[in-house]
């Protein structure tokens, strides 16, 4: 199986070849020639709720996956990514609509509660800088700036319940 996906602002071709032992060979190729093709040996094991064990080339990590309106929201190691499926990409292409999260929209990867807001409108942020912390399933998840920029809007309120797709922070690229 091979499909194009949009992850943040990048479009990639993902090819998955399932192997007999429960693993798969995953090849990720940047669609616009942005870098080299990457090959992984992967296994994805759901472990309850929105959590799963992801093993890539022998390294294991817990990932959180939650469905949004038109994307899957994936949180890996404190980084959040909106993964837009091929049918939504095609619909957007035909309508001329922009890419998911291309505007620096920070949304929660899963339902939870905002426990800390670390920025205000007007703040300058660096790529990877923590902007909001949410608590979900007794685990803290730190949401970070996708790139250097300026915070244009903060809707996150400490103590508020949030769900995937809710705008918490909006960042304009520098």
More confident residue, 164 or 37: 37
Q: What CATH number should be reported for the domain whose range is 105-173?
A: 2.40.50.100
Domain spans of the chain?
A: 2-95, 105-173
Alpha carbon distance 15, 29 (integer Å): 8
DSSP 35: S
The contacts of residue 35 (CB under 8 Å, 6+ apart) are none
CA distance 60 to 156: 31
Tell me which fold the domain 2-95 belongs to.
Glycoprotein, Type 4 Pilin (3.30.700)
pLDDT in tens, 41-98: 888 888 887 888 888 888 888 888 877 666 777 777 667 677 777 676 666 555 433 3
Cα–Cα distance between 106 and 123 in angstroms, integer? 15
């Amino acid at each position: 199986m091979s499909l194009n996906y949009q992850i943040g602002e990048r479009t990639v071709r993902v090819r998955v070849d399932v192997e007999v032992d429960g693993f798969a060979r995953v090849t990720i190729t940047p669609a616009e020639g942005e870098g080299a093709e990457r090959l992984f040996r992967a296994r994805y094991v759901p472990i309850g709720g929105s959590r799963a064990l992801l093993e890539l080339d022998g390294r294991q990590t817990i990932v959180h996956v939650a469905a949004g309106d038109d994307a899957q929201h994936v949180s890996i190691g404190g980084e959040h990514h909106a993964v837009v499926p091929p049918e939504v990409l095609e619909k957007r292409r035909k309508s001329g609509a922009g890419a998911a999260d291309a505007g620096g929209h920070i949304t929660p990867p899963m339902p939870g509660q905002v426990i800390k807001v670390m920025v205000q409108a007007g703040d300058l942020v660096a790529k990877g800088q923590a902007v909001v912390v949410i608590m979900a399933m007794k685990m803290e998840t730190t949401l970070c700036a996708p790139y250097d920029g300026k915070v244009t809007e903060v809707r996150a309120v400490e103590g508020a319940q949030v769900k995937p797709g809710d705008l918490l922070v909006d960042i304009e690229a520098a």
